Structure formats: structure tokens, C-alpha cells
Structure 1
Amino acid sequence: MRYKLLVIVLLFCSLRGMSDAIHEIIEVKWDLIDTETGKANPVSRLTIINPTDKPISCNDWSIWFNYMRRIDPLSVDKRFSITHKNGDLYRLGFEEANLFIPAKGKLEINYVTKGLVPNFTDVPSGLYVLNEKTNETNNIRNYDINTDVFTPAQQKIKLAAQYDINNKNLGGEKQLIIPTPQTLQLKTGKGFVLSGSTSLIFQPQFEKEAGRIKEFFKSTLGIDLSPVKNNGSVVSFVLDKNLGAESYKIEIQSNKLEIKASGTAGAFYAIQSIKSLISANQWKKSSSVVLPELSINDSPRFGYRGVSIDVARNFHDKSAIFRIIDAMAMYKLNKLHMHLIDDEGWRLEIKSIPELTEVGSRRSAGYSTGLSLQPSYGSGAIASKNQYYTEEDFIEILRYAKENHIEVVTEIETPGHSRAAIKSMQARYQKYLALGNIAEAERYLLNDPLDLSIYSSAQYWSDNVMNVGMPSTYRFISTVIDEVKLMYKKAGLEMKQIHLGGDEVPRGSWEKSPKIKSLMDSLKMTSVYEVWPYYISRISDLCKEKGLTLAGWEEMGMKNDGKGMKVNPALANRGIRLDVWNNIVGGGQEDLAYKLANAGYPVVYTSASNLYFDLAWRNVFDEPGHTWAGFIDLYKAYSFLPTNFFLNITEDSKGKKVTSALFEKKERLTAKGKQNIIGIKSGAWSEKILTTDRQEYMLYPRMLALAERAWAKETIWEKNNTFDKSAFDKDYKNFVAKVGEDELGKLNVINGGYHYRLPAIGIKEAAGKLLLNVEYPGFDIFYTDNGEEPGLRSEKVGQSVAYDAKKTYKFRVITAEGRMGEVVTL
């Protein structure tokens, strides 16, 4: 008996001793059990592996992770539990007493996801171990995601489908410039020879832009323009006061390249057209470049041509923003919307309220102290440092954007999506309360401590809505706006607008708040739904007092009478600019942008169906991105018709075929409404965009399609009542040819190269051969048939290779610069 007790004690001690280093010892793997595309409620599996020769006790520790989908807790084996905490944070616990992982053994935990798990970026992330007794946390070091989920037969079907998609879009005649000018007339002639003997002349107001083109020609083409006028060819900048602020003319003849503009913006955009006109092959050091003779008369279709970047969910530093600005400038995009604030992070220093970044920019497993936010989107146990822009950083961004004729639109999200601000102000409250300074503690408090309202936001938060019945909420918003406005002033700019969010306040908010009840009683409100338009009116007045235009998401122009959100015409005369994203086909709001524009609201059409670049390119497991609004490849982005959205829709967001009957009762734009569509904008929410490389993968080349739709004039196939698909497809092929053969090559040169999405390979078996193509031209495929990974020394593929079913083939796209795409195995 004494011997048995000794063995039990030794075993117990060995198990307890291991628990301190669990995060270093265990290996965790994730697999998708159901790989059928589009299958509802699929089964996934987490496997916890013990690679050691001693059993590991499961007492006293748990695994925590982030997961963007909802897990059915009843689907989990009763030995375990998976509990939703808040947002996307889950706890995996061990419920069976004295459960252990056997030596060289494993535990498998299957669970059902509500909805779909369509690709690898939906998987559990940021796994860490919590010691339940000591509260010590550490990130799990060995975590593997199985992305090889397709059988060989499924892989063949997927690659053949990609081949057919690629094949439809190849073979175009390269368009000359992206975005397409309003008018471009090619002329016959020998062309304009640009060389070192070409002189540069300009009027004084164009000195800066003349310097830009001189620097581009010298650094990129190796051609140094002469400052002395001679009898040879000449590049000139000429003032034309009859042109609009962003308009320009270009005249290229055998002996001159003349740019006309009324100011620097037009001259700047003319330079971008010259850059686009010069092919990627000519973007190299040479003694001369020949340009075609032509005339261009150009103006933008929309005054607001925007890119929205979310740096709140996952932070992207100043250098990443500079790279985006450079690319935007090259394609004549002029509004950078920075989503700086959300539930998961506050990313802008506000010096008078330092807690916003001291608490709101940090995420850690120690969040229960109130000194950080909880882990989100794979951030893990340990808080990262300096995940925000200092005031100096932001001023640099403002100035750099201005130099490139881009306005930064600052978004301070309110009243929903505000958990980072709320938690930061709770920490501030506790700090000043401990000092006995109640007035200072309550100065910027954003939540009512007695509020018992129950709700769940779109991202499953239960505590992310500011209380708009408290004066301290408006005091907070006012102070933040004042400090942001001062940053613009320090940058030498006038801040003209502020974006205050306004989207996705969940049902149930404020319903059981004493502060809201007091507000309603004072204003004789009969329903909590009346609080929403009251809030919008109040912040609209606040912005007006500060000389600012209020901008926000579509809900700012809407109200709820208890039967869902609908247009609120009562606020249309306030000039509130709305970003309207909800046009999801099959969702019922396909005409929302048009309803709001017709009602009198200025609308920036931010189409989730076409321009949300955080959405996955295609419905395959190895493609990153969200899927809730469908899939957006280059074709889908290009196909967006801002003023005639329904004309070319053939599928809903789930990929099911639809007919025009779906839109028969939908509201069309009136003449007034069409004037109120003031621009278009892309979105890139960053839940799944953790790095600069992933950000650029998601943005490019789709941003080029955005530029085309934002700048180029309304097309003939957009104006008509019937969609001319053959004319559209011809234009798209020409666009793709320009993108693949020229523009992506230029993105290899700028800023050391961008990490754009390389084209997908298509493969189809036919007559003893594998037929191959790529999504857009200008890229080479390399392959092996001996099991090795393809590299630049491997054999280059033409249009096909001989196929031997006994061999394993590996293919990948490799650029001339050596950048390698994903390996495709067949």
C-alpha cells in the first residue's frame, strides 16, 4: 500500500511540475473535419499532443483562444468545455476530474461551428495557456493549422475551375492608362523621344510638380531632363485657368510633351497618367523612352475617391500607411479614411487623455486588472508595445498625404464599436477615484455603472456602446475632436470633416440604463428608439459648432420605429455625409445607398459587395479573408456600377443565381439622388489583416479596379437599361492586360516592391497534358515533377506540360525579382 501511495505521489508531482511549462511542451493542431464547400455548421477539431514520455495533468490550466465564429458549446465532448467569454475570446477547459494527456498521446476535441468555416483565416488564433491557480499566462509555442484539406480529386476540380476563370479573362489588348482618362485620342506619328537632351520648362506655380516628374524620369527611367531650353524635345507645364482643380490636359507630339492644369492637383494627376502610359518594361535605366503621340483631356468622375484602412482591430504602423499613400497617389485616389478606433483598440495619442493609449492600445491576457483590453484576433497573452500613432506620427501622416493630394479622413468611432474607449475611461475613473477626485473620475466616463441592458454586437461584444445619456460622453467626444483638429493645424492643414462612426449599435443597448431613462423623461420620449436620432442631432450640432462636416456610416441617416432601420428624412438637410456599405445581394438593402441619396444625404458608396477588400478573393479554403458579404476578385471589384448597381447582378452573396426580378421593387436613383452620390470608397477591415504583407495582398491589385471606377467616366455599358456583357468583358480583358503586364510590374519597383496578390494558377487535364494559365498575364509558372519545391532554377512552363499520373507535380508563380507564390501540388 505504501508503495502504491509513493507511485501516486511521484506521478502527481511530475504532472504538477510540468504544468508550469505547459505552453512550451504541448503541441496543438487544428483540422477542418468537414471540407465540403459551403456546408453549414461544419465540424472542426483541436488536437492537444503530448510529445514527452510523461503524462500531463489537465488540472489547474486552460487554453484560451480567439475565434471569429460562434461555437456550439453543446457539441463538445463533456470531458471538455468551450466557453465564449466576450468578443472573439474563448476558453477551452478540462471538466473531467484528473484528466491527463497520456505520454506520447493526445486529446481530440471536436466542436461544431455555427455558420461556415470557409477558409484558413477563420481558425482559432492567439492560443495561450492560463494557470488557473497562479493566473500566469503564456503563449502556446507549437500550434499548427492543417491547410491541406482537399483530396486529390477535389484539388483537380478546384484547379480546373480556376483554369476556366482565368481563360475567360485573358487575351485583351492592354489599355494605355489606369485609370482610363475621360478622353484619349491616339495620333499617328513617330512618337515623342524622351532622352537626356529633352528640356524641362514650367511656370512658377508648377515648380514642385516639375521637380516630381524630373525626379521620376531620373530615378526610374535613368533620364535626366535638361534645365536649359534647346531646339530639341521639351516637357512643359502650362497654366490653364479654365480647367477644374483636379483636371488636366496632356498633348504629346513628336517634339513636345505638354501638361496643362489650373493648379498643382491637376498637374500631379497628369504626371500619374504619364507614369501609367510608360510600360513596366520601360521602368528601367535606359538612354531614351518613346511615348505615343496623343491628346488627353481628363477629369475625375467623382470628387471623393477613397480608401478606408482599419488600424484599430490590428495596428499598421506609419511606414505601412506611407506605402498606401504612395499607391493611392499613383492611381489618383484622394481620400484616406483611417478607422483609428474600435472595440479592440484605440490607435491615436490624445495627450489630454493618456489612458486612451495607455490602456486602449494594449491587449493582454491580464485584462481583468482593467489596465489593458482582452486579447482579440490572435493578439495572444503578451501585450505589444507602441501599437498607436503618436501625435507626431499622425502629423507626419497628414503632411505626407497632403503632399500627395490626399486628404486624411479621421474616424473616431461612436457610440457603438467603442469598447476600447469605454474600458480606457473606466481605468481612468478608477485611477482618479482612488485619489479621491470624483469630479475628474467622472469627467470622461462613457458607461453608466447602473446600466443593466443586455445586448450582443455584430462582433459578439456585450459592453461596447457609449451611454449617450451622459454629459461626460459629449465632453469626451468634444475633447477628442479638439485635439485631432489641433493636430491638423500643427500639420499646416485645415480639418474640414470628422467621421464619428455610428454603425452597428446593437438592439438592446440603453434599454435598462437609468441615465437613458432620465434623458427620455426630460425630453418626453416614449421609446428608446428616439434616442438614436437625438444622438445624431447632438453630435451634428457639436461638429457644426467646431466648423466641421459630420461624416458617418449609413445608420446616421436612418431611424428605427420598432420595425427595423429605415431612412430618416428629418436629418437630410444637415449635410451629414454618409458612407453606405450595405448592398449585400439577397440581404434586402440592395438599394439603401440610393434611398439615402434620393432623400438628400451626400453618399460615398462603399459597396461591401464589390469594394470590401478584406473579403476573400474566392471561395476556396486557402484564400484569406472574410466571407460574410460574398467574395470579391478583381472582376467583381471592376464590375461595380455606382449609379446603376442592379444592372449586372447575376448572383447573390452566397453564389446563388438571381434574376432582375429580385430588384423590380428596389428604388432607383433620381436625378437629384445621382448628384448626391459624391464618391466611392473601398474598405479593408483588419480582423484578419495582421501584417503589412497581408494588408498589401488584400489591397492590390483590387485597388486598381477601385481607381478605375472612381475616376473613369460613366461607361456605355453602365448607362443603358440592358447590360452589354460582351462590351464589358472586352474592357475588362484590356484592363487585366494592363494590370498584369504593366502595373504590377511597377509595384515591384516602388518602395522596394509591394506584396500584392500573385495570380492564381489554373490547371486542366486534357489529352495527356496539363494545360496551365494564370489569372492575369505577365507572370511565369515554374514546376517540378520530382517532389522538390519549384524555384527559379526549375523548368518554366509554357501553356502545357506532358502529364504522367504516377508523378507528383508542383507548380508556383515566381516573379523576375524572385518573389514566390504558393505551391500548387497535383
Structure 2
Amino acid sequence: MFRYFIVALVCTLAFSSEGCGQTTSTQSDKAKTTPNQSAAAPLQLTWEVVEEKHQGKNQTLSALTIQNTGKEALPAQGWTLYFHGSPSFKPKAGEAAPVKTELINGDYLKMMPTANSKALAAGASQRIEFVGAGQVVNQFRAPQGFYLVWDKDKSKGYPVSLNIIKPNHTAIDWETPQSIFTKNQEIKDIPAEKLTKIFPTPAQYKETGQAFTLTQAVPVVADKAFQKEADLLAVQLGNVLGTKPAVKTAGTGKAIKLQQKTGMGPEAYELTVTPQEVVISATTAAGAFYGAQSLLTLLPPSALAKKQTSVPVPGVQVKDAPRFGHRAYMMDVARNFQTKEQVLKVLDLLALYKINVFHFHFSDDEGWRLEIPGLPELTQVGARRGHTQDELDFMNPAYGSGPEVDKLSGSGFYTRADFIEILKYARDRHIKVIPEIETPGHARAAVKAMDSRYARLMKEGKKVEAEQYLLRDPQDKSVYRSVQNFNDNVMNVALPSTYNFLEKVTDELLGMYKEAGAPIQTIHFGGDEVPNGVWEKSPAVQALMASNPAVKTVDDVWYYYFGKVNAMLKARSLYLSGWEEVGLTKVRTNGKLSYVANPDFVKENVHVDVWNNLGQNIDLAYRMANAGYKVVLTNVTHYYMDLSYQKNYDELGHNWGGYLDVDKPFYFIPFDYMKSMRVNENNDPVSPSAFAGKEQLKPEARANIIGLQAPLWSEIVKTPERLEYMLLPKLMGLAERAWAPDPSWATNPGSAESKTAYTQAWSEFTNVLGKRELPRLSYYAGGFNYRIPTAGAKVENGKVLANVQLPGLTIRYTTNGAEPTVKSKPYAGPIAEKGTVKLAVFDAAGRSGRTVTVENK
């Protein structure tokens, strides 16, 4: 899941640009009294890196400058700055510093004046140095989300603006224009007419040269079994033609036909385009739907730019079926929220590229986003964030969401009606929605919501009702910190009330699926990252151990819990899904702890999403598949969409699992993925010794690899635009690898023949993206904010050479120091002009990627 190393310097992307409020009355340093509480002193904060790898260690020395921009003095005492960052962020001067920092919970900290603090006069500034663990690889690593609270009114917070100064990067090996140029050199520019015109790549594809002309007069004629698919196709064609074509059950003449044909696979289809007709044949409605999506990608992208009177459809003969039946995208809306409209837009994207599973991560430590009838606190408290002293009405801010409650993206939830609409939308597009109830860890939002419910009902004298859904043991004295630094985010699984809660939520979910007419076979119950120390001092757990012979240690509580959850789901004709930990058991040998596949759950049809292929866990997915588990490959190294595209300060994203550009999802080899692990988390070549003694996937266990999944965790995703940027075009590699046949280059990727085949395949893929699919996505479903690549550039023989990762996009440049615009010169060959050359890549819609600069001396 979202894992180990990010807590070193966790923070947020966006920061407030608002001021702190109005001026306050004058205060002297000696008086140490607090200003009028109705307003806050205006402040301006500036943060900058002073020294990377400070003292030769993996830590950063930085400075925070506090400037009083008001007309009155900021008093020495009586205030607190709240912010988000790493608990390691401490003043360098220690006890002699004018401020101290303390962790509240998670990424949420506070900074308070010490006895060494002095009043800050109007217009004056104070610079304070801090040391924090890790390196500042991009702006996301900076402390952010600052706001001010006065001691005499601790209920109100005032946002403080923050300016971040870009560091010089003297000690970090950054991606450069030259290194990008070298990577791009293997990419060939392939003429558009020679590209496969259906994406993902079909199993069998042949062009005939005999096109079909699509107009408003062409009806969609469908067998009764495919009427829903025909109607949806007609709606999509209507978006191109301006008028929805007629949908019929019979007819003669030119038409698009959806015909049922027996004997084909569950998602297979055939597509034939001749000058007279377009015929989609399939056995199932899903197959007919995917044939229709292939027809849509056959249309030239330019057809979506404006309404068309006629559109040429290339003549093709296609026979197609997916490689994997489980092709998944996981959307985290718990850490930061996305609207229902954005969810529907993402479903349109998934449908177009034949991704058929939507893993809906709606609950986590920082938010619970789905209305559950009968448990209003889940969304009244768990779905809202803001400055609070007790979290009874809403939760603490997280990831810089700020002090004001009900502000996107910290706050927000889906009503029951919203979720039913989402389910219907997905159902019509043959997308299964797998809901995830994060348990027993990563459950802080649910725990706090039920605490609020408990407090409310106890106040009303309803003790039995108050305890009905309580998720923690009030007498528990256990001490722990999760990997994200929470000390109160784990459900107590010895309490009967915890199972009351899970059954209530499960049954309400099933009611929503039933009302939506949407299929559901499983619920994901999380299961990852429960920290050491949890439950050890819980009287409820001690009582369970005393009464249940099968629960001898705290470790056994884990198996007790998931055994009960599994039984609950089986009683409802569902199977259990979870992160890999659900299927692992602890083994201690000579005092050393290790994890092995738990044989008890194999026979229970438990499905696991395995993300961890780092360090000693490189082969974990194969070990679990070999043991008999149904495994979804969710490898962090190749499919975590929230990882930064490149090792560059201006490229926002995580890096604890490495860097993830467009190529990694594409060159992933599902049945031999260790051969896909070319670089480590630092972008250095992986040593072959890393794979020594690791378990390979057994031939008979291949059937246990049921699919691939790309998650997008949302700690840094605060807007729809950022979501789309992190998702696209990386998701296209997942779509290709999950659907398209096993490529020839994957059989023996180290051979010269395979390397040549890979270079050709990679070139075809990048050309398809640059010349067909990204231009399409500029308009499809309202248009997507996909990432435009950074130009590669180098100086050779006194001239600047440039190239691009995705042929079809245009490089533009300037030589006068100005930022390139859509009107700047297009790159057509080596640039002879001397001086500072700035280059950027532009798409056909006029958007550009990051600018790079080279000096041609």
C-alpha cells in the first residue's frame, strides 16, 4: 500500500495563499500578553533548503523565515503554528531555539514559542534553522499547510501563506535534459498510418485499406442481448456527430451491427470494418462492449475536436480477448477527496481502455467518504477535516487541508444516492466496483467517528447503544505508532462491537449494490500496516486470549480477526480480498521475524493485492501465488501511480518506491517481473545479487496471477487536475500489459533479439500515445490533464539537439531567456543559436510540459 519511507518528510502539494487576518493591538516583549482574539497577526513564511545531506547524513538542513507583515508586533508567547510535515523536523538549536515542534498525529505537527522566544516587531523577520530526516527531492517534501492559533481562542485557526524557495540541488543526482535525451534516443518516429489503430493492442489485427464512412444516418443495429451496449455506443458516437444515431433491433443497409455469437470467451469480441458495415460479434455483453470501445479508438482523434458530419473508420479485421480477467485501477479518495463527477469521468477513462475493476478506497486514517445509513458520524465526523481540539465534530487537518472545515479536498463524501449512481455508471461500462473498508489498521477516521457517536449517546444516557459500534477499548493502554505516525488508528478486534460495525457497513453496502443492480463478489478489508505494539495492553484482548484457546498470543489475534471477517463474508456469498498481509503469517526463527503464506486462508479463496516487491520481499507475490493464493500484481516499482515521474525537483510525487515514468508499466513482465526490475528506488541499476535465492513463479501457479492493478494514493492529489496528471499517461502501460497478448520480447528480455523487439514495441507504444491516444484524451470525456513529457536536450558540436518521449508532440524553444509558448519556434533540427536555450513540449491543444534549459556556449 502506501508504505515505508514516505514518513521521513511527509507533507502536501498545495499551500494556502491566504493571509493571516487583520492587525492586532501592540504588545511588548515583557508583557507577554496575547492580542485581541478576533484577528490574527499577518505573517509570511519562507522555507528553503540550506544544506542537503547535512553532516554527511541522510538529512536536510533547512530554514524557516517568519516575517511579520502586519503593523503590530507578534508577541513572544501566546500562539501556536500548526503545520504538516515529518516528526523529524526539529530546530537545529535544540533547547536553545526560540521554538519547538511536537507531533500531534500522522503528518500533523505544531510549533510553539519557547522561553527563548522574543516578540517580532512589525516588518521584522526571524530565521530559524531545522533539521529533518531524508532529502528534499521535490516540493512535496517541504513542511506545509501552516496556520496560526492564538492561545486565548484555540478554536479558530488562521491560514498563513508560505513561500518555498527552490533548492540548488548540489548534493542530489537529478534527472537532467541530457539523461532524458539519452533515454529518448532509442525511440523511433513511426508514421501514423503504420500504427495499430486500436488500443490496447488487439490479439489479432489486420488493416484492409477499405474504410467505412460514419455519419448521423448510420444506425446501430443490435441483437436484443446487446441493446444496452448499443445505446451507450450510440451516445458516444453522438458526441462526435452531434446527433445520437438511431438504435434498432433490425435493419438493412449501412449500419454498425452488434451480433451475438456463441462460443467466444467471456470478454472476447470480433470487429470487422468494411465499406458497407461495421460488425461487432461477441458471446457476452462485456465482449460486445469491448468491441465498441475498440471501434471508438479506431476513430481519428481529430474527430473529437469538433462535431463531425462524417468520420472515416479504417477497415480492419480484429479478433481479440484480454490476457488477464482482472484489470484494475485503485482510486484513493480517503486521504484527499474527489467529487462524484470526477469519479464518473475516471470510469469513462477506464472503460475506453478496457480496465474492468475499480478498486474504491473510500476509507483510511484521514477520511471516511461514504454515507452509511444509521451511522451518520462516519461522514459528519470522518469525512470532514478542520482545526479542532477534540475531533468530536470533525477530524484534524491532514496533508495541508487547512483549519477551515468543509473545504475540498480535505472534506467531502458520497451520499448513498451518489454511490448508487457510481455503481450504475460502472455497471453499464462493465466495470466491477470493489469497495475497500480499511481494517483493522488505517482506520482512524472510522475509530474517531464511532468515538463521537459513543460520546453523544453516553451523554444521552444510552450506554448500550453507545457501545454497539465502538471500535476501541477505552481501557487499552497499548503504545504504538503506525508507519504514517498515528497512535490511535487501529480497531480493537477483540470487541464484539467491532464486528457489529463491520456487519452493519457490509450489509448497507450490499443494499446499495442491490439497488443499483450492480454485481459484487468481494469486499476488500485492507489488512496492511498494523503496527507493532498494538493490542498488547488491551484488557479486551487479554480477555479474548483467556477465553479462546486458539488465541495464545497477540499475533494470533490477527488470524482470529480475519477468520471472523472471512466467515461473515462467506455467509453473504462473498469472498475476502485484502492487501498481502491478510494472507501472511508471522514466523519467528531464532528470534528473527519473517512472514510466510498462511496455509489456513488458501482454501478459503482469499484474494490478495501484493504491492511489496522491495528488499527482502522482491518475490513475495510469487511466493503467495505458489502457495495457492489468487494474486493481483500491484507492484509498487511499476504500478504505483503516485510515484514521481522523474527524479526532478519540479516533478511532484512520492519516491520511496522509486520513480515511475511511462515506460515502467509498459515493460513489466507479469510472470517474470524480476527481469522488469532494471533500477532500484534511487534510479540506480539493480544488482543481479538482489534476486539471488528468490522464488520464481512456478508454471502451475501462473493461473493464480489473476491480474494487474495500478493504485493512485492521494496524499499529494488535491485536485482533479493533479489526479489526471499522475494517472496519465502512466495508466496506459497498465492497460496495455493487462489486455494485450504476452509480447515476444518478454520471453528472454536479456537477449539481443528481444532487446531489438522491445525497442520496436516501445517505439510503437510511444507513437500510439503521442499521435493517437493523448490527442484523443484532450477531448474525450471533457478532456484530461495528462502529463506532457519533458524534452530531452544536449549540446553536441556547438549545437543543441532535442528529442521527445512521445513522437507526435511538438518541441518549441526560445533563445532569449523567455519561457517557450505555443507561438515559439518549433524544433526541426539542431539549434545553432548560442546562449540560453529553453525548450518545452507542447500538445496539439497548446498545453506544455516542464521547461528545460541548456547553455550553448
Q: After TM superposition, is the score higher than 0.5?
A: yes
Q: Evaluate the alpha carbon distance shift between residue 14 and residue 403 of structure 1 in structure 2; reply closer, same or farther with a 3 A threshold.
A: farther
Partner of 1:5: none
Give, in whole Å, the separation in 1 of the partners of 2:404 and 2:27: 33
Partner of 1:204: 224
Counting only pairs closer than 5 Å after superposition, residues 610-649 of structure 1 correspond to structure 2 as: 610-649=638-677
Partner of 2:725: 697
Deviation at 1:190, TM superposition (A): 4.0
Partner of 2:151: 132
Give, in whole Å, the separation in 2 of the partners of 1:526 and 1:205: 56
Counting only pairs closer than 5 Å after superposition, residues 398-437 of structure 1 correspond to structure 2 as: 398-437=423-462
Partner of 1:29: 46
Q: Evaluate the alpha carbon distance shift between residue 10 and residue 175 of structure 1 in structure 2; reply closer, same or farther with a 3 A threshold.
A: closer
Deviation at 1:374, TM superposition (A): 1.3
Which residue, 777, 796, 799 being the options, matches 2:807?
777
CA contact (8 A) 2:175 2:646 kept: no
Partner of 1:554: 580
Q: Residue type of the partner of 1:25?
A: P
Q: Residue type of the partner of 1:180?
A: T
- 1:561-582 CA deviation, whole Å, 9 max, x = no partner? 3413221112110011111111
Q: Evaluate the alpha carbon distance shift between residue 513 and residue 14 of structure 1 in structure 2; reply closer, same or farther with a 3 A threshold.
A: closer
Deviation at 1:148, TM superposition (A): 5.8
Give, in whole Å, the separation in 2 of the partners of 1:813 and 1:18: 52
CA contact (8 A) 1:248 1:267 kept: yes
CA contact (8 A) 2:240 2:308 kept: no
- 1:653-686 CA deviation, whole Å, 9 max, x = no partner? 2223224342231111223321111111101111
Partner of 2:764: 734
Instruction: Determine helix, strand or coil for the equivalent of 2:499.
Output: helix
Instruction: Determine helix, strand or coil for the equivalent of 1:328.
Output: helix
Give, in whole Å, the separation in 2 of the partners of 1:330 and 1:645: 27
Partner of 2:598: 568
Instruction: Determine helix, strand or coil for the equivalent of 1:45.
Output: strand
Q: Residue type of the partner of 2:139?
A: F
Q: Which moved more, 1:127-136 or 1:398-407?
A: 127-136
Instruction: Determine helix, strand or coil for the equivalent of 2:803.
Output: strand
- 1:78-119 CA deviation, whole Å, 9 max, x = no partner? 222122221101111221345122443311222222123211
Instruction: Determine helix, strand or coil for the equivalent of 2:712.
Output: coil
CA contact (8 A) 1:453 1:509 kept: yes
Counting only pairs closer than 5 Å after superposition, residues 273-422 of structure 1 correspond to structure 2 as: 273-284=294-305, 285-384=307-406, 387-422=412-447
Deviation at 1:607, TM superposition (A): 1.1
Give, in whole Å, the separation in 2 of the partners of 1:59 and 1:824: 46
Give, in whole Å, the separation in 1 of the partners of 2:93 and 2:785: 40
Matched, 1:144 2:163: yes
Q: Which moved more, 1:754-763 or 1:157-166?
A: 157-166
Matched, 1:65 2:83: yes
Matched, 1:545 2:575: no
Partner of 2:480: 455
Partner of 1:251: 272
Instruction: Determine helix, strand or coil for the equivalent of 1:242.
Output: coil
Instruction: Determine helix, strand or coil for the equivalent of 2:671.
Output: coil
Q: Which moved more, 1:514-523 or 1:256-265?
A: 256-265
Give, in whole Å, the separation in 2 of the partners of 1:168 and 1:820: 23
Q: Evaluate the alpha carbon distance shift between residue 104 and residue 197 of structure 1 in structure 2; reply closer, same or farther with a 3 A threshold.
A: closer
Deviation at 1:361, TM superposition (A): 1.0
Q: Residue type of the partner of 1:166?
A: N
Matched, 1:515 2:540: yes
CA contact (8 A) 1:163 1:773 kept: yes
Partner of 1:3: none
Give, in whole Å, the separation in 2 of the partners of 1:550 and 1:578: 9
Q: Evaluate the alpha carbon distance shift between residue 261 and residue 475 of structure 1 in structure 2; reply closer, same or farther with a 3 A threshold.
A: same
Q: Evaluate the alpha carbon distance shift between residue 784 and residue 9 of structure 1 in structure 2; reply closer, same or farther with a 3 A threshold.
A: closer
Q: Which moved more, 1:790-799 or 1:488-497?
A: 790-799
- 1:199-230 CA deviation, whole Å, 9 max, x = no partner? 64332323333333344344325697688999
Partner of 1:4: none
- 1:141-163 CA deviation, whole Å, 9 max, x = no partner? 42112236458x99997222222
Instruction: Determine helix, strand or coil for the equivalent of 2:205.
Output: strand
Deviation at 1:59, TM superposition (A): 1.3
Give, in whole Å, the separation in 2 of the partners of 1:79 and 1:416: 37
CA contact (8 A) 1:126 1:139 kept: no
CA contact (8 A) 1:502 1:552 kept: yes
Matched, 1:104 2:123: yes
Deviation at 1:617, TM superposition (A): 0.7
Matched, 1:488 2:510: no
Deviation at 1:741, TM superposition (A): 0.8
Counting only pairs closer than 5 Å after superposition, residues 79-94 of structure 1 correspond to structure 2 as: 79-94=98-113
CA contact (8 A) 1:350 1:391 kept: yes
Give, in whole Å, the separation in 2 of the partners of 1:518 and 1:58: 51
Give, in whole Å, the separation in 2 of the partners of 1:354 and 1:825: 54
Q: Evaluate the alpha carbon distance shift between residue 737 and residue 420 of structure 1 in structure 2; reply closer, same or farther with a 3 A threshold.
A: same
Unaligned runs of 5+ in 2: 1-24
Q: Evaluate the alpha carbon distance shift between residue 105 and residue 810 of structure 1 in structure 2; reply closer, same or farther with a 3 A threshold.
A: farther
Matched, 1:161 2:161: no
Which residue, 608, 615, 621 being the options, matches 1:593?
621
Deviation at 1:239, TM superposition (A): 1.4
CA contact (8 A) 1:498 1:550 kept: yes
Deviation at 1:496, TM superposition (A): 2.0
CA contact (8 A) 2:228 2:428 kept: no
Give, in whole Å, the separation in 2 of the partners of 1:575 and 1:652: 33
Q: Residue type of the partner of 1:379?
A: S
Q: Which moved more, 1:204-213 or 1:500-509?
A: 204-213
Q: Which moved more, 1:720-729 or 1:462-471?
A: 720-729
Q: Evaluate the alpha carbon distance shift between residue 156 and residue 428 of structure 1 in structure 2; reply closer, same or farther with a 3 A threshold.
A: closer
Matched, 1:176 2:200: no
Instruction: Determine helix, strand or coil for the equivalent of 2:200.
Output: coil
Partner of 2:553: 527
Q: Evaluate the alpha carbon distance shift between residue 18 and residue 771 of structure 1 in structure 2; reply closer, same or farther with a 3 A threshold.
A: farther
Q: Residue type of the partner of 1:276?
A: T
CA contact (8 A) 1:175 1:735 kept: no
Deviation at 1:468, TM superposition (A): 0.7
Deviation at 1:121, TM superposition (A): 1.2
Give, in whole Å, the separation in 2 of the partners of 1:799 and 1:60: 63
Give, in whole Å, the separation in 2 of the partners of 1:301 and 1:83: 51
Deviation at 1:729, TM superposition (A): 2.1
Q: Evaluate the alpha carbon distance shift between residue 167 and residue 127 of structure 1 in structure 2; reply closer, same or farther with a 3 A threshold.
A: same
Deviation at 1:301, TM superposition (A): 0.9
Percent identity of equivalent pairs: 36
Give, in whole Å, the separation in 2 of the partners of 1:554 and 1:323: 30
Give, in whole Å, the separation in 1 of the partners of 2:247 and 2:428: 24
Matched, 1:239 2:265: no
Instruction: Determine helix, strand or coil for the equivalent of 1:540.
Output: helix
Matched, 1:216 2:226: no
Give, in whole Å, the separation in 1 of the partners of 2:626 and 2:747: 18
Q: Which moved more, 1:205-214 or 1:373-382?
A: 205-214
Give, in whole Å, the separation in 2 of the partners of 1:775 and 1:643: 27
CA contact (8 A) 2:41 2:68 kept: no
Give, in whole Å, the separation in 2 of the partners of 1:97 and 1:10: 17
Instruction: Determine helix, strand or coil for the equivalent of 2:756.
Output: helix
Paired residues in the alignment total 813
- 1:775-809 CA deviation, whole Å, 9 max, x = no partner? 3122223444445444333433334433332xx54
Q: Which moved more, 1:112-121 or 1:285-294?
A: 285-294
- 1:491-511 CA deviation, whole Å, 9 max, x = no partner? 123432111111111111111
Q: Residue type of the partner of 1:534?
A: Y
CA contact (8 A) 2:52 2:135 kept: no
Give, in whole Å, the separation in 2 of the partners of 1:190 and 1:363: 58
Instruction: Determine helix, strand or coil for the equivalent of 2:390.
Output: helix
Deviation at 1:33, TM superposition (A): 2.4
CA contact (8 A) 1:342 1:418 kept: yes
CA contact (8 A) 2:457 2:463 kept: yes
The alignment's C-alpha RMSD in Å is 2.8
Unaligned runs of 5+ in 1: 1-7
Deviation at 1:58, TM superposition (A): 2.9
